[in-house]
Chains A and B, each alone.
Chain A
Amino acid sequence: MRLKRILSSRWAKVTVFALCLVPALLLVWKGFTGGLGANPIEYITHATGDWILRFLCITLSVTPLRKILGLPELIRFRRMLGLFAFFYACLHFLIWFVLDKFFDWGEIAKDVVKRPFITAGFTAFVLLIPLAVTSTKGWIRRMGGKRWQMLHRLIYVSAIAGVVHYYWLVKSDIRLPVMYGVIIFVLLAYRLIASLMKGRGLMPRTAGVQAGERV
């Protein structure tokens, strides 16, 4: 199949990588051309925040899409997509850390403890760190597939914390945070149902499952 060949090619990965960088490059371009509006720092904070949730959703969609579309090749992109979620999370965090708090550790600690919306966002970010660190093949081998898989289920906790963070931030218009919440809920529900069905032998375990692969 042609699509399968394209997905397996070296260029596919390079293309996806370049595409994932587009939002960041767009922000840089807008920054130089005055396209970030009256409050540029708020703009880039919100934009990077949005892209974290989008990348988390895309990353979590890989497995369901792979199975539904019968395209196991999609797995090649999952780690990169997850790492891009982390990349945008780092940008988002640094903007807050430097441009909002300006390295004021006292203020930062107070905010993290006292402000539920920051507690949630901070939690979401911190939880992504071990996942990014252990994303390599070497770590999968060292940890063993089962344990690695357990650890990487933290992505759900992180994604949910991220949505809560967004929900608590907005003053009244909750449509976007709710939308992300629904998407993540559906992706989580798919896995729960899939694993239940598999438990009852309704769904054969896919042959050739790689070590450390999530359900």
Chain B
Amino acid sequence: MLIKRSPDIRPSEITPKHLYLNRRAFLAGLPLAGAAFAAGNARAAEKLSGITKSPLSTTEKITPMNDVTHYNNYYEFGTGKEQPAQLAQKLKTSPWTVKVEGAVDKPQVFDMDAIMKMAPLEERIYRHRCVERWSIVVPWIGFPLSALIKKVEPTDKAKYVAFQTLLDRGIMLSESSAGIPLPYVEGLRMDEAMHPLAILCVGMYDEALPKQDGAPVRLIVPWKYGFKSVKSIVKIKFVEKQPPTTWNMTNAHEYGFYSNVNPEVDHPRWSQGSERRLGEFFMRKTVKFNGYGDQVAQLYAGMDLRKNY
């Protein structure tokens, strides 16, 4: 007879010392605890498996992961580029649910398990162009947003999709410190959301998404400026009218609803004609629709892109 002895290992024997010490410091509310915790926990990401390559990937040189995880715009966790890498570690990504509602026949709440199994995970190596004139090339992991949309069966009234980022005032900056209204909201037109390039992203570089990059699930729309690719999504709502978007609310004159990458339409304060690819010394020319024009230009046929910036 096999008698299993119940394990009586103390947690302190499993958890590396530097981690639990940091955890205590964190609980004690020391100002630097978050940073220390982040440093200790930075490489704890889980590997994702069963990922297929996508023909939609670019063959351009991939930006080093360390740059993509330490150069973030995630204002809820600091307006400096390197702050989210530390401050976003407070984000609790499990359990996590995404509520899908509005003009749909089957409104649902998906947990992360359901999202991970919604469609086969693909690696999509995309160019990612920030409105601030820098760009990166990232091997995102996810699946077409259309897979989720089909599951909830939108009605005729669904003309736009509105996305909402988590708002947790306990761990995030206040609106006045972040300088933007919260929660962060974004939106796409229905045909944009259904486009095969638009993905729900759950990972990058073969791993689950790091917190500062929008864990556990975010949007990626590679032909638009980066701020359209909303992070840490908790709600998706199908609506009839164009939904409000955070940067447009902050400064309508500078940030439009569409925000397609377009070197011909300048930001009022700077030219969008060029960009700095992280890791490169000189600027490179920005390409319309971030180089995805062949696939997406027809979405905007007949539209004045100067007016609809």
Contacts and interface: CB of A to CB of B under 8 A. Distances in A.
Contacts of B205: none
A169 interface: yes
Contacts of B132: 171
Contacts of A107: 271, 273
Contacts of B81: 37-39
A168 interface: yes
A115 B133 CA distance: 15
A102 B283 contact: yes
Contact of A42 (B178, B269, B276, B282): B276
A173 B76 CA distance: 12
Contacts of B134: 39, 42
Contact of A38 (B67, B266, B273): B67
Contacts of B179: 171-174
A111 interface: yes
Contact of A41 (B68, B177, B281): B281
A172 B75 contact: yes
A111 B71 contact: no
B79 A173 contact: yes
A86 interface: no
Contacts of A99: 281-283
The bracket for how many chain B residues form the interface is 20 to 34
B271 A168 contact: no
B75 A100 contact: no
Interface string A28-65: 00000000011101100000000000000000000000
A169 B278 contact: no
B276 A116 contact: no
A107 B266 CA distance: 13
User: How would you classify the secondary structure of chain B's contact residues: helix, strand, loop or mixed?
Assistant: loop
Contacts of A122: none
Interface string B69-80: 011000100010
A173 B177 CA distance: 7
A95 B251 CA distance: 29
A38 B71 contact: yes
Interface string B53-84: 00000000000001110110001000101100
Contact of A117 (B66, B75, B270): B270
Interface in B92-107: none
A27 to B, nearest CB: 16
A37 B71 CA distance: 8
Contacts of A115: 269-271
User: How would you classify the secondary structure of chain A's contact residues: helix, strand, loop or mixed?
Assistant: helix
Contacts of B271: 107, 110-111, 115
A169 B132 CA distance: 10
B276 A172 contact: no
Given A107-B271, A117-B269, A171-B132, A100 B178 contact: no
B148 interface: no
Nearest to B180: A172
Contacts of B269: 115-117, 168-169
Contacts of A102: 282-283
A107 B282 CA distance: 15
B250 interface: yes
Interface string A144-183: 0000000000000000000000001101111000000000
B282 A172 contact: no
Given A42-B276, A111-B271, A117-B269, A172 B79 contact: yes
Contacts of A41: 276, 281
Contact of B278 (A38, A111, A172, A173): A38
A35 B71 CA distance: 13
A117 B133 CA distance: 15
A153 to B, nearest CB: 29
B70 to A, nearest CB: 6
Contacts of A169: 269
16 contacts: A39-B278, A41-B281, A42-B276, A99-B281, A99-B283, A102-B282, A102-B283, A107-B273, A115-B269, A115-B270, A118-B270, A171-B132, A171-B251, A172-B75, A172-B178, A173-B178
Q: Which 7 A-B pairs have the closest CB atoms?
A: A172-B179, A38-B71, A38-B67, A173-B79, A173-B179, A117-B269, A38-B278
Given A41-B281, A172-B75, 20 more contacts: A37-B70, A37-B81, A37-B82, A38-B70, A38-B81, A99-B281, A100-B283, A102-B282, A107-B271, A107-B273, A110-B271, A111-B271, A114-B266, A115-B269, A118-B270, A169-B269, A171-B132, A171-B179, A172-B251, A173-B179
Interface of B: 66-68, 70-71, 75, 79, 81-82, 132, 134, 177-180, 250-251, 266, 269-271, 273, 276, 278, 281-283
